[in-house]
Amino acid sequence: MIDNPYFSVDEMKCKGTDECHMNDSFMEKLINIRTELDRPMIINSAYRHPAHNSAIGGVKDSPHIFGRAVDIAAIGEVAYDLIKLGIKHGMTGIGVAQRGAHDRRFIHLDDMSNDTHPRPWIWSYK
């Protein structure tokens, strides 16, 4: 993972294996988003080892297993700003989870290519 002032390996690593294989190009985009947002971003999920992704019910070819995705805790205006900045900085997949308890709400950002996933794409979680 590229060195940066905002995100530590500890917060980006797989919660099941402690491995961290974040894609450098993705991280550059995420750092640009964080710089422009100008406020902390709480990362709920970043890199996932394929076995851990499967164990938690993640989709088989999740961008998380390629180190090209994060889920960011966000509600309200911050969620809105993350969506705008994600689009501006080249995120091609945006998932919106804004229902239920506030501490369970997040925005998913990824930059997978059209070759592996239909893109650009935005969706909401149940």
State which residues form the domain around 55: 9-124
Dist. CA 91–CA 113, nearest whole Å: 10
Q: Is residue 3 part of a domain?
A: no
Dist. CA 107–CA 124, nearest whole Å: 9
CATH number at residue 66: 3.30.1380.10
SS3 category, 112: coil
Domain count, the chain: 1
Q: How far is CA 102 from CA 35, 70, 88, in A?
A: 24, 18, 26
Report the predicted TM-score, pTM, of the whole model to 2 decimal places.
Answer: 0.95
Q: Is residue 2 part of a domain?
A: no
Q: Cβ contacts of residue 101 below 8 Å, gap of 6+? A: none
Q: Edge-to-edge strand order for the sheet containing 121-124?
A: 42-45, 69-73, 106-110, 93-97, 121-124
Which residue's entry shows tokens 């919106």? 96
Dist. CA 31–CA 37, nearest whole Å: 10
Tens digit of pLDDT for each residue in 1-58?
899 999 999 999 999 999 999 999 999 999 999 999 999 999 999 999 999 999 999 9
Dist. CA 70–CA 89, nearest whole Å: 14
Q: Is residue 95 part of a domain?
A: yes
Tens digit of pLDDT for each residue in 63-105?
999 999 999 999 999 999 999 999 999 999 999 999 999 999 9
